[in-house]
Homo-oligomer: A and B are copies of this chain.
């Protein structure tokens, strides 16, 4: 939407914006669920879209006429594809002029002619030990488009390559922001289950120092990246074209980067406090084996106050979340979902007001400030925005007259 408004503003039209709003109303009215089809198959990662040997590694426009456009290509990883009503197609990187055909954003119903969806099963249905993912889960799919027709009402832009980067980055920021909340929920589950496991083993993590240290580490990680989500909301800014709100990109990306890389530490801690039994205790098949079930329940109870079935249940819950295909899925969606860590790092650097920090130090060193426009590290100087709510650009040191600055800095110590 922000991009539609931006294109309209650029072209002096209103049509892109209206088209998008009309579609949004339709989605809401029909209570449609959408799948996000952004990640192309991408082919050779070291080449741009138009350089690929096989053009179908990216979704692209093969024809445009009065009714609409015709697209072909492959989106490689679409979560929930088989369960949604429509797919929202977006480009997965910024496009250059040569890639104009690949700069397309539109919506298509999943059953449009020419679409083939090849999906993995969602979660681990039917697996008795999968105490979480036999109920909740997601499917990922490859979606192949072969000459799929999309009417103009559902085309939000086509070949406006100059704006594709903007959409990609913006969507990614939104996505990463929501990821933070999602993965904090995952952290909640590990914190709760970890505490239950400690209790079942006979410990109060609050009084066994080394277990408490681990639990605090888990809390620190979870709430640490959640705090970045909070900060991203606090420093959200209004988009000048569409008037909708954007979470702050620096904090969104830092939060996502923190969770992406620390999901593995979260697993380590969950395993640390629980013990090896998560993968080693008897599976659900043994629960009703008349020869051994009773005896097992007896000798594998630990804390006398927690019955065996509750202990093993928590162990399987943790196995499911952290030591199964589903656990791997969570790791990878955390690491790569919404873009790889390398992409986030670039976004952080691109958006960070490094110029202001440079200026701060130059003032402290009482040097003449360089003002050449081309200075690489001088780019990205953001004016300290002082608004009614008192917020400023995150990370932008406020520039005041030197004597006062001196006082402020004193507090640095």
For the complex, is A212 an interface residue (Cβ under 8 Å from B)?
A: yes
Identify A413's interface contact among B302, B310, B330, CB under 8 A. B330
Of the stretches A14-22, A152-160, A163-171, A332-340, the one at the interface is A332-340
Most buried by B among A183, A377, A397: A377
For the complex, is A271 an interface residue (Cβ under 8 Å from B)?
A: yes
A118 to chain B, nearest CB (A): 5
For A54-83 the 0/1 string (1 means CB < 8 A from B) is 101100000000000000011011010000
Chain A stretch 265-307: residues in CB contact (< 8 A) with chain B:
265, 267-268, 271-272, 275-283, 286, 289, 291-292, 295-296, 298-304
Q: Which residue of B lies closest to A193 (CB)?
A: B361
Most buried by B among A193, A319, A357: A357
Q: Which residue of B lies closest to A352 (CB)?
A: B219
Copies, count: 4
Q: Is A209 a contact partner of B207 (Cβ separation < 8 A)?
A: no
Identify A348's interface contact among B219, B265, B365, CB under 8 A. B219
Q: Is A203 a contact partner of B45 (Cβ separation < 8 A)?
A: yes
For the complex, is A227 an interface residue (Cβ under 8 Å from B)?
A: yes
Identify A135's interface contact among B47, B207, B275, B406, CB under 8 A. B406
Residue numbers in B under 8 Å from A220 (CB-CB): 254, 257-258, 348
For the complex, is A331 an interface residue (Cβ under 8 Å from B)?
A: yes
Q: Is B276 a contact partner of A332 (Cβ separation < 8 A)?
A: yes
Chain A stretch 1-59: residues in CB contact (< 8 A) with chain B:
39, 41-47, 53-54, 56-57
Residue numbers in B under 8 Å from A41 (CB-CB): 299-300, 302
Q: Is B283 a contact partner of A120 (Cβ separation < 8 A)?
A: yes
Q: What's the Cα separation between A54 and B254 when bound, in Å?
A: 41
Q: What's the Cα separation between A80 and B202 when bound, in Å?
A: 28
Q: What's the Cα separation between A393 and B366 when bound, in Å?
A: 45
Q: What's the Cα separation between A183 and B409 when bound, in Å?
A: 10
Residue numbers in B under 8 Å from A57 (CB-CB): 299, 302
For the complex, is A358 an interface residue (Cβ under 8 Å from B)?
A: yes
A203 to chain B, nearest CB (A): 6
Q: Is A255 a contact partner of B227 (Cβ separation < 8 A)?
A: yes
Residue numbers in B under 8 Å from A268 (CB-CB): 261, 264, 331, 335
Residue numbers in B under 8 Å from A193 (CB-CB): 361
Of the stretches A93-101, A137-145, A236-244, the one at the interface is A137-145
Q: Is A192 a contact partner of B332 (Cβ separation < 8 A)?
A: no
Q: What's the Cα separation between A281 and B332 when bound, in Å?
A: 12
For the complex, is A230 an interface residue (Cβ under 8 Å from B)?
A: yes
Chain A stretch 354-404: residues in CB contact (< 8 A) with chain B:
354, 356-362, 364-365, 367, 375-377, 379, 394-395, 397
Q: Is B280 a contact partner of A394 (Cβ separation < 8 A)?
A: no
Residue numbers in B under 8 Å from A245 (CB-CB): none
For A179-220 the 0/1 string (1 means CB < 8 A from B) is 001110110110111011011011111111110110110011
Task: With A140-B279, A188-B397, A264-B264 given, name 6 new contacts (CB 8 A).
Answer: A116-B292, A137-B413, A183-B412, A219-B395, A223-B231, A227-B255
A sample of 27 inter-chain contacts (CB < 8 A) reads: A43-B302, A45-B202, A54-B299, A120-B280, A135-B406, A144-B296, A144-B299, A188-B360, A191-B354, A196-B361, A196-B377, A213-B213, A215-B354, A220-B348, A223-B250, A223-B254, A224-B228, A227-B231, A230-B235, A264-B265, A267-B331, A271-B332, A279-B325, A279-B333, A319-B325, A324-B325, A324-B328
